[in-house]
Amino acid sequence: MYALIVTIRVKPEGRVRFLAAIEDDAICSERDEPGCFRFNVLQDESDLNRIYLFEVYRDSAALEAHRKTPHYARFAGVAAETVEGKNEVRFANTLFPREAAYWERR
């Protein structure tokens, strides 16, 4: 499995719009993309404008397919107006659970 962890800093005045857009992207990703196994959105406990994404895909091709979806385009449009600075993105391979069946269940 192919994972990414993203740290995003949201402009305070754009927070509500950003959260609506990322919720749409997360729901549509898990619901509509067979290669997207997990799309979690987390908020920093001490900084409400720092958001973390944890996404798991079958492979890098599934991530590329995600980036071509209408819901990603909607999110990207809002993010361009509501995000401060550059996102920090880390790519990872999942170690545990090892079984693909765990990630593929919905």
Is 50 within the bounds of a domain? yes
CA distance 44 to 49: 8
Report CA Rg, the chain. Answer: 14
Q: Is 104 domain-assigned?
A: no
- pLDDT (0 to 100) of residue 90: 97
Note the pLDDT of residue 101. Answer: 78
Residue numbers of the domain that contains 14: 2-93
Residue 105 falls within a domain, yes or no?
A: no
Q: Does position 106 have pLDDT exceeding 70, yes or no?
A: no
**Residue 73, H or E segment:** helix 70-82
Average pLDDT score over residue span 82-98: 91
- As a whole number of angstroms, the distance between CA 87 and CA 85 comes to 7
Q: Burial code of 82-105, b = ≥16 C-beta within 10 A, e = fewer?
A: bbeeeeeeeeeeeeeeeeeeebee
Q: Give the model confidence (pLDDT) of 2-15 as tens digits.
A: 999 999 999 999 99
Write the CATH number for 85. 3.30.70.100
- In this structure, the strands spanning 2-10 and 83-93 are antiparallel
What total of structural domains would you count in the chain? 1
Determine, yes or no, domain membership for 102. Answer: no
Helix (H/G/I), strand (E/B), else coil: 31: helix
pLDDT at residue 95 is higher than 80: yes
- Whether 89 is in a domain gets the answer yes
pTM summary value: 0.91
Q: Is 100 part of a structural domain of the chain?
A: no
Asked whether residue 57 is assigned to any structural domain, the reply reads yes
pLDDT tens track for 28-82: 999 999 999 999 999 999 999 999 999 999 999 999 999 999 999 999 999 999 9
On whether residue 101 sits in a domain, the answer given is no
Token code pair at residue 106:
């919905």
